[in-house]
Amino acid sequence: MSSLSWRHHTLIQSLLSRGPLKESEFRSIFTKITANRSDNDRLFHDYLKKINSCLAYVQFELRAFRNQYDGTVYYGGVNNVADEQSKLGTKYTVPQIAFYKGIVPNGGGPESQGVSSQVPAAFRNFSLSQKERTLDELVRD
């Protein structure tokens, strides 16, 4: 494993301190940090590859992901392992999160597209009493 330069560290810190960034914003930061004025995808991906190889031992990586509703590409830090510590990010279960996404209007979301096949299996067995308890929790929170 090779060590990271201050530029690599700065890129990681800029992403972690700001949270997920649009691709254009992340690439702009990359360009400023590396002083690379060309649109060199290879250099960009080499930087990410080196960072991710060094972060692999903590099961963490910087990754691009696409917003399912508007197609925008974002970059963010991702935990690679679904361990007990990573589950502490939320107290809500998968069915509760699916229920929340179903009742909160979000432009271009599944309710506007009529996509019922994307409903998680765990949500299909979500009882009325579970839905009521979840609504109470959401209101309380």
Burial of 5-17, coded b for 16+ CB within 10 Å and e otherwise, reads: eeebebbbebbee
Asked which of 82, 103, 124 is the last residue of a domain, the reply is 82
Asked which of 36, 54, 82 is the last residue of a domain, the reply is 82
Give domain status of residue 134, yes or no.
Answer: yes
- What's the pLDDT at 105? 66
Same domain assignment for residues 78 and 94: no
Same domain assignment for residues 28 and 48: yes
Q: Is 47 helix (H, G, I), strand (E, B) or coil?
A: helix
Same domain assignment for residues 76 and 97: no
> Which one has a higher pLDDT value, 135 or 23?
23
> Which one has a higher pLDDT value, 6 or 121?
6
Same domain assignment for residues 64 and 97: no
Same domain assignment for residues 17 and 65: yes
pLDDT in tens, 24-52: 999 999 999 988 777 778 889 999 999 99
Same domain assignment for residues 60 and 94: no
Share of the chain above pLDDT 70, in %: 78
- Lowest average pLDDT, out of 38-47, 76-85, 93-102, 113-122, goes to 113-122
Same domain assignment for residues 53 and 16: yes
When pLDDT is averaged across residues 9-23 and rounded to a whole number, the result is 92
Same domain assignment for residues 76 and 10: yes
Same domain assignment for residues 68 and 117: no
Same domain assignment for residues 65 and 19: yes
Q: By C-alpha distance, which of 99, 94, 90 is closest to 132? A: 99
When pLDDT is averaged across residues 50-67 and rounded to a whole number, the result is 91
The boundaries of the domain holding residue 14 are: 6-82
What's the CA gap between 29 and 8, in Å, rounded? 11
Give domain status of residue 1, yes or no.
Answer: no
* Number of compact structural domains in the chain: 2
- What's the pLDDT at 65? 92
Same domain assignment for residues 15 and 71: yes
- What's the pLDDT at 112? 47
